[in-house]
Amino acid sequence: KIPSHKNVEELKELEEMRSAARLLREGGLVAFPTETVYGLGADATKEEASSAIFAAKGRPKDNPLIVHIGQKKQLTQITREIPPVAHQLLHRFCPGPLTLVLKHNGSLAQTVTAGLDTVAVRIPSHPVALALLQLADIPIAAPSANRSGRPSPTTADHVWSDLAGKIDILLDSGPTSVGVESTVVDVTGKVPVLLRPGGITIEELKKAIGKIEMDPGLLNQKRKPRSPGMKYKHYAPQGELWLVQGEEKSMIRKMRQLAEQALARGKKVGILTTEEHQDQFRGLFVVSCGRRKEPASVAIRLYDALRRFDEEKVEIIYAESFPQYGLFHSIMNRLWKAAGGRVIKS
Ligand code: TXA
Ligand code: MG
């Protein structure tokens, strides 16, 4: 347990933090909180250490990892060039839930970049993450600390239930504050490209840098996404999740109808909805993932909500959908992937 009220400098004095940093330098695996989700960290310059991440997660080898650093100046130690737009983004959003894809300089382990000539880098803003990265003072490869394919972990309990026995240390600092992963932007071309929507919204990005393109693979199911990880079935609960779309009232009515039909077929049914609507599903297994009026509250609770259905061994889940703006954009991206593209229009 790491106290959540301490600042970076205070955290750097803690023996738990120091031994976790030492372990990273010796090639160990450390799970730690970031503001988005918990990460599973290892030395990004050592093949063996980074390979251990893939083994612990059961992650496909062609899916590169995000490299985490504790200070902007470390960027020049791993990248070949930093274009002006990257400086703009760094200035505006880092530390924070933004990941930049840049050309690397060959100093990282091949497993980390999956053999690509680019690397995804981010500076998290969570004090525990920053303190750990600054103490270790090496680039740390860290994907989300879940078993591959499962919802990302927003609490230490989630990490524990996926990876107990497979990691050396788990730094528990309570639930994370953003709840969805970082936004990934490729800045190696003429125009920046959004590869994964996340904690920083498209609206915020546009305001900061003007022009940004969307990876066509994000919008079109038939195109291969440019971010290797985006092609996998992801964030998925074990039950079959259906995303129900449409105008609010008819969407809720449709969800109720579908649930009743599935119940009649003898299925164990779950409903994923919001506080505004949860009372309309009496008698069913209902999980509320925050307030529809507050996208940030939904982001924080989304992955925990998805995990609840597994705990209850729910076989079929009907999920409320959200309008495409701000954080809802990232939330809908995750729900759509959790649904494996199963959408019902009301
Ligand atoms: O919020 C986050 O980003 C969390 C925390 C722990 O920092 N990390 C995280 O990592 O979500 P991971 O490994 O679960 O997701 C990394 C994403 C994947 O979709 C991967 O394919 C993409 O970033 N990625 C990594 N390197 C890339 C590269 N060189 N080019 C394009 N996409 C890349
Ligand atoms: Mg992940």
DSSP state of 116: -
ipTM over 0.90: yes
**Residue 153 near residue 146 (C-beta atoms within 8 A):** yes
CA-proximal residue: ligand 1, atom 3 (nearest): 182
Q: Using only C-alpha atoms, what is the Rg of the chain? A: 20
Per-residue pLDDT 10s for the chain (346 aa) are 999 899 999 999 999 999 999 999 999 999 999 999 999 999 999 999 999 999 999 999 999 999 999 999 999 999 999 999 999 999 999 999 999 999 999 999 999 999 999 999 999 999 999 999 999 999 999 999 999 989 999 999 999 999 999 999 999 999 999 999 999 999 999 999 999 999 999 999 999 999 999 998 887 666 777 777 666 667 788 999 999 999 999 999 999 999 999 999 999 999 999 999 999 998 899 999 999 999 999 999 999 999 999 999 999 999 999 999 999 999 999 999 899 889 999 9
DSSP letters of 280-344?
Answer: GGTTSEEEE-S-TT-HHHHHHHHHHHHHHHHHTT-SEEEEE---SSHHHHHHHHHHHHHTTT-EE
Tokens representing 37? 């989700």
Q: Which long-range contacts (CB under 8 A, 24 or more apart) does 14-22 make?
A: 16/171, 17/128, 17/131, 17/132, 17/135, 17/171, 18/135, 19/169, 20/132, 20/135, 20/169, 20/171, 21/132, 21/135, 21/136, 21/137
- The residues pairing with 316 across neighbouring beta strands, listed in sequence order, are 240, 269
What ligand is nearest to the CA atom of residue 146?
A: 2
Q: How many whole angstroms from its chain centre is CA 193?
A: 18
HSE at residue 185, side-chain half, CA atoms within 13 A, is 30
Alpha-carbon dihedral sign for residues 136, 106, 166, 95: positive
How many angstroms separate the CA atoms of 118 and 21, rounded?
Answer: 26
pTM over 0.90: yes
Tokens representing 211? 């022009």
Indicate the pairing of strand 39-43 with strand 183-186: unpaired
Question: Among 118, 181, 186, which residue has the most ligand 1 atoms within 8 Å of its CB, making it the best to mutate?
Answer: 181
CA of 255 to the centre of ligand 1 (A): 33
CA of 228 to the centre of ligand 1 (A): 9
